Amino acid sequence: MNSLATVFSGAVYGVDAYDVHIEVNAGGGEQKTVVVGLPDAAVKESSDRVWTAMINSGFAPPRGRTTVNLAPADIKKEGPSFDLPIALGMISATDGLAPGRLEGYCVIGELALSGEVRRVRGVLPIAMMARENGYRGLIVPAANAEEAAVVEGLAVYPVNTLREAVDFLDGKFDVQPVAIDIEKVFEAAGVYDEDYADVKGQEFAKRALEVAVSGGHNLLALGPPGTGKSMLAKRVPSILPSMSLEEALETTKIHSIAGLLPPHKALVAKRPFRTPHHTISDAGLLGGGSHPMPGEVSLSHHGVLFLDELPEFHRNVLEVMRQPLEDGRVTISRAAASVTFPCRFMLVAAMNPCPCGYHGDPKRECRCTSLQIQRYRAKISGPLLDRIDIHVEVPAVSYQELSSLQPGEHSRDIRARVIQARKIQQERFAKIKGVNCNAQMRSKDIQTFCSLAEEPRTLLKMAMTELNFSARAYDRILKVARTIADLEGTDAIAVPHISEAIQYRSLDRQWTI
């Protein structure tokens, strides 16, 4: 009797996966199954699920004491994804599967009591690990097959039941590897229901959004209720450049780990647009938990994070976002270890000028006191405002603009200009690691690519003196001016570019109450 079997699987740590060798030993003694190798509660419970699934699939469970070891034993294992490999190990250890049939395969999957194989989280990073480690195939739940199949050079075999997996490994059932047409996935993702042609008026705000997207700048929209701030923000993805395969894989890994990838979906090929509610906690925004999971900032990776009613968010939640905005990554530290998730996103925020929303409105009376307005605005700290490159005011739209039958400019036309500006930036930063657009420039990059002639330098000096801008605001103005020049296709930053960039720092000035 072959009492020892080894099955290869994988587990996720952060955004990457690592090899897990599952050793199953079926011996004599009392009828008991022991799982070792730092399993969490879900993994410990797998023995009961596996036993029942084996019986309902027509297999006899091991008799006596069965020991399941998850190696490496010094890393905590979590989740139900080890059910299928443990079951295959038990079947192999009791001669239900010929020796050597499991060799070269990586296996993941959760088992139902009926023997059905259910989908699991984190399949994409495990598939990438399996390819790097030279496995000849990956056996996954059928609902996860498309997700794993985007990894080229790895055969992905979908299974629906435990019996199907055993028959496939034993050569009694033919399972064809899943193939994905990546081009079709990206083509389908290029269609947007929202279009800027639907937005009446607000040409200045649209221009600011075009500049923001062209350079990857963060943006804050300020205006009374009903002026279209949310409407404008929701259409930002329609003018963003299409995702590259590398960006799509990075984003899909995060969504897969969080369990947000729908069944049978291959890739997150459309840039994410996340809109958390203002009651969100700092752990919900940045990520956290006993087993750290990505938060909203990481789920927005390579996309847009929209924070509506910005002052309504808890101040401590907004403050912890400052460092991720600068670094493009968030590190969650726990007693056992620390996990780093990427979070390179574009922040779009919206807020009213006061609690009632009508301060400064020529047609509606504001009933807020000066103290209420000060407290409301104080929720947005100076350091956070400094990290938002563009501040744009969104006034009420006139009746003439609302009733006009003339459609606005289509998103596809704005997007064409954005793509051209991004192309200029990609060529500019081709040899600089970690910088892909103007918003990501560091101090030395600003000195290199944002040099000014005498006239624009004089204008900027005057603005810095008169408007009391901070040093960080100085850098932001230069970055935005660089983007405006790129949209015009000019190498030199001129006076009009600096002038427009200064207009986008309205909240740095002293607000009149």
pTM exceeding the 0.75 threshold for the entire prediction: yes
Confidence tier at 505 by pLDDT (50, 70, 90): confident
φ, ψ of residue 469 to 5 degrees: the values are: -70, 150
Of 131, 111, 116, 9, the closest CA to residue 69 belongs to 9
Secondary structure of residue 165 in the 3-state scheme: helix
pLDDT of residue 336: 63
Q: Where are the alpha helices (DSSP H) in 115-172?
A: 123-132, 145-149, 162-169
The pLDDT tens digits for 415-452 are 999 999 999 999 999 999 889 899 999 989 999 999 99
Percent of the chain with pLDDT over 70: 98
Residues 6 or more apart whose Cβ sits within 8 Å of residue 227: 202, 394, 395, 396, 397
Residues 6 or more apart whose Cβ sits within 8 Å of residue 307: 275, 276, 278, 313, 347, 348, 349, 350
Average pLDDT value over all residues in the chain: 90
Residues 6 or more apart whose Cβ sits within 8 Å of residue 502: 459, 460, 463, 467, 477
pLDDT of residue 335: 65
Homologous superfamily assigned to 187-433? P-loop containing nucleotide triphosphate hydrolases (3.40.50.300)
Query: Looking at this protein, which amino acid is placed at residue 29?
Result: G
The pLDDT tens digits for 350-363 are 999 999 988 878 88
**Cα distance between residue 133 and residue 127, in whole Å:** 10
The pLDDT tens digits for 37-90 are 888 888 888 888 999 999 999 998 888 889 999 999 888 888 889 999 999 999
SS3 string of 43-58?
A: HHCHHHHHHHHHHHCC
Of 462, 1, 436, the closest CA to residue 243 belongs to 436
Percent of the chain with pLDDT over 90: 63
Of 238, 247, 236, 182, the closest CA to residue 209 belongs to 236
Mark residue 287 as left, alpha or beta (left: phi above 0; alpha: psi -120 to 50; beta: remaining): left
pLDDT of residue 484: 97
> What are the structural domain ranges in the chain?
4-169, 187-433
Alpha-carbon radius of gyration of the chain: 28
To 5 degrees, how large is the angle CA 25–CA 29–CA 35? 40
Whether residue 234 has pLDDT greater than 90: yes
Mark residue 459 as left, alpha or beta (left: phi above 0; alpha: psi -120 to 50; beta: remaining): alpha
The pLDDT tens digits for 240-257 are 999 999 999 999 999 999
Whether residue 334 has pLDDT greater than 50: yes
Mean pLDDT over residues 311-331, rounded?
90
Secondary structure of residue 399 in the 3-state scheme: helix
pLDDT of residue 509: 59
pLDDT of residue 511: 47
37 CB neighbour count, 10 Å cutoff: 20
Domain 4-169 in CATH 3.30.450.40? no
Whether residue 26 has pLDDT greater than 90: no
Mean pLDDT over residues 185-194, rounded?
86
Q: What's the number of CA atoms in the CB half-sphere (13 Å) around residue 380?
A: 24
To 5 degrees, how large is the angle CA 11–CA 341–CA 336? 60
